[in-house]
Amino acid sequence: MTTSHEALFIDGGWAPPSSAAMIEVRNASTGEHVAAVPEGAEADIDAAVAAARRAFDDPAGWSSWPAPERAAALERLAAELEKRSQEIGRLVSIQNGMPIALSPIIEGLTPVGTLRYMASLLASAPVEEETSRFLGGDLVIRHEPIGVIAGIVPWNYPQTLSSFKYAPALAAGNTIVLKPSPETVLDSYVFAEAVIAADLPPGVINIVPGGREVGAYLVQHPDVDKVAFTGSTAAGRQIAEICGRLLRPVSLELGGKSAAIILDDADLDLAAIGQNLFSATLVNNGQTCYASTRILAPRSRYAEVVDTFAAFASSLPVGDALDPATLIGPLVAERQRDRVEGYIAKGLSDGARLVAGGGRPAGLDQGWFVEPTVFADVDNKSVIAQEEIFGPVLSIISYTDEDDAIRIANESDYGLGGSVWTPDLDRARRVARRVRTGTVGINGYLPDPAGPWGGVKSSGLGRELGPGAIAAYQNLKTLYA
């Protein structure tokens, strides 16, 4: 009998893989082998898409369920995930290095809240709206599910970012094939067990882990009706090209290089702002697309800002991701550590001043650790200020006045997140409105299911979450009377 970790989750159960290829899972804190699980191949994608298509096309199936029944199913799935939040968090921490102090909350409970928010939206989501024709007479506008959704998610927040796709897609009546990243696959087995326990119909959710080739095959599969992708800007551009050629709807949440605008009246007392500062800049070891990694500091307080951030970074406990005291864990893989160290070297060679970190922490010879690193005297046009590093590296850039700060914040190819720091809420909102980005936090940064999520420029297309999340997975059909 095939057991779950020897199989793929397709059509509501555990299916043997079509290939002998395996994904090796390694502990990011130690580099040690943890497990090996099947890697999906094209035939597995075919089977998963076919199962999703059957479930969608069934006249009595998921897409035809009344909204209250779908909402109840989402609530059941939320409850099952909540029971498993600690285990999901533990597995994510092992795989990508997210500190265990955070992972059961971020990875274990964010999907629970997202599902419950989407279930609440179904209470008021219209199926048909009757209205008047502009030229006289009546018409009906129908909100119909799109069909089979391809959800492709990265390794940094595997369960959270999956839920941003499947929760609204399922609420709208679609079915989905999820492709987790090969770096984080063990948590997807726990998610599949929750799907089974929640008694969702077979084929509504299917999971096939794999690399880029498998993802590319899924994106262009003829029976996929929409693609929802989170990942790098480079990969997003390739997916956009494919979907453009196929005239296939696509949403893309991509990279970021967000600015934290420290205004001249900001409170810099770490005892007061340290937790919010951490959440906005270095959460998940800097492996966060929205992180405010460009720190914009007024010249009048520049030295004070530099000292504050140097002290802040140096105070963060670095260690094994499973240690509850750890706030900065390892990076996801050796290649990611090499990438981050390359950027640190580039910052030094370009003349930036290193004021904290810059190396590997003492006593942590195993695993893929990098010290929290802060550069001062950074030119906003430099490589470390313009390219997404995806590690615990911050760059402090000076500005003259408010207009100059906004100009610098907007001088980026990206526009996903950002933050403004001041006790004056009206001033913060005035500044935030002028920053070209999809989201802005004030004196911190904490996404919420009720807020539309996504970016502008090279940070992507479309929005997830928010009151319009379900509509993003629906087609409109007009009936003329």
Tell me the pLDDT tens digit for each residue of 31-88: 999 999 999 999 999 999 999 999 999 999 999 999 999 999 999 999 999 999 999 9
Backbone angles phi, psi at 184, to 5 degrees: -135, 90
Strand spans (E) along 180-249: 205-207, 226-230
Q: What is the CATH number of the domain that holds 316?
A: 3.40.309.10
Q: Are 234 and 279 found together in one domain?
A: no
Q: Give the pLDDT band of residue 19 (cuts 50, 70, 90).
A: very high
Residues 6 or more apart from 269 whose CB is under 8 A from it?
Answer: none
104 and 234: one domain? yes
Specify the DSSP class assigned to residue 352: P
Q: Residue 106: which domain range? A: 4-254+458-480
- The answer to whether position 206 is within a domain reads yes
Alpha-carbon distance of 124 to 143, in angstroms, equals 12
Token digits for 54? 């059957």
DSSP 284: G
Indicate whether 245 and 275 sit together in one domain. no
Q: Check whether residue 38 and residue 105 sit in a common domain.
A: yes
Of 183, 289, 341, 371, the active-site residue reads 289
Query: What DSSP letter does each residue of 376-426 carry, written as one string?
Result: ES--TTSHHHHS---SSEEEEEEESSHHHHHHHHHSSS--S--EEE-S-HH
Q: What is the pLDDT of residue 125?
A: 83
H or E, element range at 308: helix 302-315
H or E segment to which residue 339 belongs: helix 334-349
Across the range 223-227, mean pLDDT stands at 98
354 and 407 in a common domain: yes
Q: φ and ψ at 78, to 5 degrees?
A: -60, -45
The residues that bridge with 139 in the sheet, in sequence order, are: 131, 480
Task: Judge whether 69 counts as a catalytic residue.
Answer: no
Q: How many domains does the chain have?
A: 2
Structure tokens that stand for 41 in this block: 């191949």
With respect to residue 453, please indicate whether it lies within any of the assigned structural domains.
Answer: no
pLDDT in tens, 241-259: 999 999 999 999 999 999 9
Determine the Cα angle at 318 with ends 312 and 323, to 5°. 125
- Same structural domain, 151 and 65: yes
Per the prediction, the chain carries an average pLDDT of 97
Tell me what the mean pLDDT of segment 456-474 comes to.
97
pLDDT of residue 5: 80
Per-residue pLDDT at 192 = 98
The tokens for 242 are 């494919």
pLDDT tens-place string over residues 327-340: 999 999 999 999 99
If we measure between CA atoms, which residue out of 152, 281, 284, 234 comes closest to residue 413?
234
Using an 8 Å Cβ cutoff, are 139 and 481 in contact? yes
Considering the domain architecture, whether residues 308 and 351 belong to the same structural domain is answered as: yes
> Looking at the structure, do residues 377 and 344 belong to the same domain, yes or no?
yes
Six-digit token string for 6 = 């020897």
Strand partners, 22: 38
Residue 4 has pLDDT above 90, yes or no: no
pLDDT confidence of residue 3: 52
Instruction: Please enumerate in sequence order all residues whose Cβ is within 8 A of that of 200, keeping only pairs 6 or more positions apart, or say none.
Output: 12, 62, 73, 76, 77
pLDDT tops 50 at residue 473: yes
Residues 6+ apart with CB under 8 A from 272: none
**28: Cβ–Cβ under 8 A, 6 or more apart, which residues?**
94, 95, 96, 97, 321, 329, 330, 331, 332, 333, 367, 368
Does 304 lie in the same domain as 246? Answer: no
**Is the pLDDT at 92 greater than 60, yes or no?**
yes
234 & 266 share domain: no
CB distance 102 to 439 below 8 Å: no
Spatial distance between the Cα atoms of 170 and 264, rounded to a whole number of angstroms:
46
Of 177, 198, 180, 165, residue with least CA distance to 69: 198
Please give the helix or strand (H or E) that residue 193 lies within, else none: helix 186-197
Task: Give, for 9, the enclosing helix (H) or strand (E).
Answer: strand 8-10
Over residues 270-299, mean pLDDT: 98
* Catalytic residue from among 253, 371, 388, 464: 253
From CA 446, how far away is CA 437, in angstroms rounded? Answer: 15
Q: What is the distance between the alpha carbons of residues 99 and 332, in angstroms, rounded to a whole number?
A: 12
Residue 272 clears pLDDT 60, i.e. is over it: yes
Q: Are 265 and 244 part of one and the same domain?
A: no
C-alpha closest to that of 95 among 197, 189, 224, 171: 189
The pLDDT of residue 141 is 95
Compute how many other C-beta atoms are within 10 angstroms of the C-beta atom of residue 244. Answer: 10
Report which residue type is found at 467.
Answer: P
State the pLDDT at residue 1: 36
pTM for the complete prediction?
Answer: 0.96
Average pLDDT for residues 120-137, to the nearest whole number? 89
Is 253 an active-site residue?
yes
Contact 85, 111 (CB under 8 A): no
Block residue for tokens 């992708």? 229
Say which CATH number the domain at 249 has. Answer: 3.40.605.10
pLDDT-based confidence at residue 301 (cuts at 50, 70, 90): very high
- Decide: 203 and 54 in contact? Cβ < 8 Å: yes
Same domain, 235 and 303: no
